[in-house]
Amino acid sequence: MRCAPRSRGFTLIELLVALLIMGVIAAMAWQGVDGIVRSRDISQERLEQTLRLQSVIAQWEADLSQLQDSEVVPALQFDGANLRLTRRHPAGLQLVVWSLRGDAWTRWASPPATRNAALQEYWLRAQQLLGNEPGQLRALGGISGWQLYFWRGNSWSNAQSTGNVAPRAGVPGLPPRQAQQILPEGVRMILSFAEGSGYSGALTRDLRVGP
């Protein structure tokens, strides 16, 4: 009488070897998935940074394109850290200040003014900003410095040059109406990015603001 052949199972060693191989394959697959996720996150972060930068620069150019000399306060003034400008607004004139605070480029905008007294008040307030006022916006971080140049007479000059504004007298910080400000035909801005900000080098933007 013949006996049926016994089926041979896996030994413990064979099972351990199989589990080890599966573990190695799973680890390699996980590393691949993790790399894909990291690459996606980095790409998404860079895209968001680029969109943020484009949005801020668009606002900067919009402010300068609406530049308006009120003959009450200077239309454009730069002191090395703050740029104060007066721009047209559907509801009147608006005072805007772009400032470098720490490593952040900030923007403050006043309510629209329809009276000279209100515009003068906003101008005085703009010279004493602390960075926590209503309307203060942290526009862009990772900035190490910025420079401005004005285009006049077929050449660029430092925006802090004394030739940019005619002599004024009267209330400190508030020139008389009859004084004439010499507005530039163009503005060049150079933004320098800090190390580790996600941006590299410096950004230069030229914008025509004259008639």
| 132-142: pLDDT as tens digits | 888 788 989 89
Which of these, 164, 2, 6, lies nearest to 85 by C-alpha position? Answer: 164
pLDDT value for 107: 95
pLDDT value for 206: 93
| 115-171: pLDDT as tens digits | 999 999 999 998 888 878 887 889 898 999 999 999 988 889 888 875 544 444 444
Mean of the per-residue pLDDT values for the chain? Answer: 81
C-alpha distances (whole Å) from 13 to each of 25, 27, 81, 107, 148 are 18, 21, 73, 69, 74
* 2: confidence class by pLDDT, cuts 50, 70, 90: low
Q: Identify which has the larger pLDDT, 61 or 36.
A: 61
Q: 0.85 exceeded by the pTM?
A: no
User: Between the CA atoms of 151, 154, 160 and 163, what dihedral angle is there, to the nearest 10 degrees?
Assistant: -120
pLDDT value for 49: 82
Region 68-83: mean pLDDT is: 89
Q: Is residue 143 a contact partner of residue 191, using CB atoms and an 8 Å limit?
A: yes
C-alpha distances (whole Å) from 64 to each of 40, 86, 88, 152 are 36, 9, 10, 16
Rg of the chain over CA atoms, in angstroms? 31
pLDDT value for 169: 42
Is the pLDDT score of 55 beyond 90?
yes
pLDDT value for 34: 66
pLDDT value for 183: 83
Letter string b/e over residues 63-82, b meaning 16 or more CB atoms within 10 A of that residue's CB: bbebbeebebbbbbbbeeeb
Q: Which residue has the tokens 């559907």?
A: 90
